[in-house]
């Protein structure tokens, strides 16, 4: 099609041109020539632009077809990211439970220690005030002996639990790495999507879609707010909640 | 006092359960969303509900509305413990008849304070 030769001047235009020249109407004749060259230039520009866009579209489609990265992402990386995120939930769950198990183990030890000390205290105070009978003194000695024995095993027990709590925090490092990988993938997908958007849809459409997405979000539950300080539609902590509720008459 | 804790994360349920135990509420039960909670509440015997907002199937706000609609349950005190922090959500919860609203992350002190307030108002 591009090779087909199109006359710059139509037959009727040529005849009119000859007529004008024969009648010595130079201005009218020049107008016909200018008009014809104008049209040919603008048509040429349109063809060029269409050609350019077609080439771009073709290249983009070919590059999408040949982009094995996209296939990799859809078939492997995204399911992999899902697994990773599920693993993060599992790990944080395990860490939280491990920590709470250790705390559950520690609390009764602390309670028993308090109770044992309270039991010894009256006799001990009696001894300090030199008001303790010999029989009671012997009893106190046995009590304290028992307390020492038990405290030392309790302390070892506490130490083990505290170490467990410490060790349970390793999830932060591991889940952090996983989440970082998923963030990288999301960024890559974002770039690819922007590429598809610029080829397939006009900028206006993209803007409109973005806006409607925002409106939808407003009604839905949003989960933890990570940018509370820069937003004025959310509260910033419990004090704000209390203020808001009391302003509503709570 | 029989308390129902509704949250889709078992860790959070356990934290709330432990905190409530320390505050003297030892008779606690758990549900993982509104849809599981509602039949348990309808079976009766519960005196208090602590619920999250964002849960699958039935969200906490819908559970609250269902409770207020039910003639047998409508007087049940409901405390919301949630990460949802938008003003319009807090207003919606207040209008739906919530008895207290705590945003996560929260402290044991906040939970105690809000519980005291809820029961003080109920008399």
CA A166 to each of CA A53, A82, A86, A153, A194: distance values in angstroms, whole numbers, following the listed order: 61, 28, 23, 20, 44
CA atoms within 13 A on the CB side of A151: 11
Residue B90's closest CA among B102, B76, B73? B102
Positive or negative torsion for Cα A49, A55, A58, A63: negative
Is the separation of the CB atoms in B106 and A238 below 8 Å?
A: yes
Looking at residue B111, its pLDDT comes to 93
Closest CA to B99 of B35, B66, B50, B32: B50
**Which alpha helices (H) appear in A67-77, and where do they start and end?**
68-72
pLDDT for residue B86 is more than 50 = yes
**What is d(CA B115, CA B100) in angstroms, rounded to the nearest whole number?**
8
Q: What is the pLDDT of residue A40?
A: 62
Instruction: Let me know: does A244 contact B75? Beta carbons within 8 Å.
Output: no
Please tell me the predicted confidence (pLDDT) of residue A209: 55
What pLDDT sits at residue A61?
77
pLDDT for B28 equals 97
Q: Does the pLDDT value for residue B96 go beyond 90?
A: yes
CB A197 within 8 A of CB A203: no
The answer to whether B44 and B29 have CB atoms below 8 angstroms apart is: no
Q: Does A86 touch chain B (CB under 8 A)?
A: no
pLDDT digits (tens, 9 = 90+) for A34-91: 887 776 667 778 888 888 888 888 887 777 777 778 888 888 888 888 988 998 998 8
Q: How does A156-165 read in b/e, with b if 16+ C-beta sit within 10 Å?
A: eebeebeebb
Average the pLDDT over B41-63 and give the result: 94
From first to last of its 250 residues, chain A has per-residue pLDDT tens of: 445 677 777 888 888 888 888 888 888 888 888 887 776 667 778 888 888 888 888 887 777 777 778 888 888 888 888 988 998 998 899 999 999 999 999 999 999 999 999 999 999 999 999 888 888 999 999 999 999 999 999 999 998 999 888 888 888 887 888 898 899 999 999 988 888 787 777 555 555 555 555 444 445 777 777 778 888 899 988 999 999 999 888 7
C-beta atoms of A244 and B85 within 8 A: no
Nearest to A95 by CA among A177, A164, A160: A164
**Cβ pair B103, A237 in contact under 8 A:** yes
* Maximum separation of any 2 CA atoms in chain A, in Å: 149
Residue B33, pLDDT score: 94
- What is the C-alpha to C-alpha distance for residues A41 and A193, in angstroms, rounded to an integer? 37
Q: Which residue of B has its CA nearest to A237?
A: B103
State ipTM: 0.85
Tell me how crowded residue B91 is: count the other CB atoms within 10 A of its CB.
Answer: 14
Q: Do B87 and A234 touch (CB under 8 A)?
A: yes
- Determine whether the interchain pair B84/A223 forms a contact, defined as Cβ–Cβ distance below 8 Å: yes
Largest CA distance in chain B: 34
> From CA A203, how far away is CA A205, in angstroms rounded?
5
Report the residue from B9, B89, B110 with minimal CB separation from A238: B110
Phi, psi of A201 (to 5 degrees): -140, 155
pLDDT for the residue A248? 86
Cα B112 from chain centroid (whole Å): 14
Residues of A in contact with B111 (CB under 8 A): none
Shortest Cα distance, chain B CAs vs residue A210, angstroms: 21
CB contact under 8 A, B86 and A97: no
Say whether B94 and A248 touch across the interface (CB within 8 A). Answer: yes
């Amino acid at each position: 099609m591009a090779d087909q030769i199109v006359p710059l001047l139509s037959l009727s235009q040529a005849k009119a041109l000859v007529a004008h020249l024969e009648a010595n109407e130079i201005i009218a004749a020049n107008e016909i020539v200018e008009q014809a060259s104008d049209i040919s230039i603008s048509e040429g520009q349109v063809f060029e632009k269409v050609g350019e866009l077609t080439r771009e579209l073709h290249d983009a489609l070919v590059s999408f077809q040949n982009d094995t990265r996209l296939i990799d992402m859809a078939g492997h990386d995204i399911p992999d990211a899902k697994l990773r995120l599920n693993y993060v939930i599992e790990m944080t769950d395990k860490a939280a439970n491990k920590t709470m198990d250790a705390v559950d183990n520690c609390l009764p030890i602390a309670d028993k220690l308090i109770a044992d000390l309270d039991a010894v205290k009256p006799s001990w105070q009696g001894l300090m005030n030199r008001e303790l009978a010999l029989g009671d003194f012997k009893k106190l000695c046995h009590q304290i002996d028992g307390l020492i024995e038990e405290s030392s095993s309790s302390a070892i027990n506490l130490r083990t639990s505290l170490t467990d709590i410490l060790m349970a925090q390793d999830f932060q490092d591991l889940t952090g790495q996983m989440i970082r990988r998923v963030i990288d993938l999301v960024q890559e997908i974002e770039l690819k999507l922007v590429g598809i958007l610029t080829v397939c849809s006009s900028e206006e459409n993209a803007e409109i879609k973005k806006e409607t997405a925002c409106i939808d979000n407003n009604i839905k539950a949003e989960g933890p707010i990570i940018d509370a300080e820069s937003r004025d539609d959310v509260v910033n902590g419990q004090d704000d909640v209390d203020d808001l509720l009391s302003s509503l008459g709570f | 006092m029989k308390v129902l804790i509704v949250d889709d994360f078992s860790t959070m349920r356990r934290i709330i359960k432990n905190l409530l135990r320390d505050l003297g509420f030892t008779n606690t039960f758990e549900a993982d969303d509104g849809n599981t909670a509602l039949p348990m509440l309808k079976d009766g015997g519960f005196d208090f509900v602590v619920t999250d907002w964002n849960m699958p199937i039935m969200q906490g706000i819908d559970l609250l509305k269902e409770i207020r609609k039910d003639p047998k349950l409508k007087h049940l005190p409901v405390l919301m413990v949630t990460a949802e922090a938008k003003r319009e959500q807090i207003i919606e919860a207040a209008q739906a008849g919530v008895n207290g609203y705590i945003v996560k992350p929260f402290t044991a002190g906040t939970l105690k304070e809000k519980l005291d307030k809820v029961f003080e108002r109920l008399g």
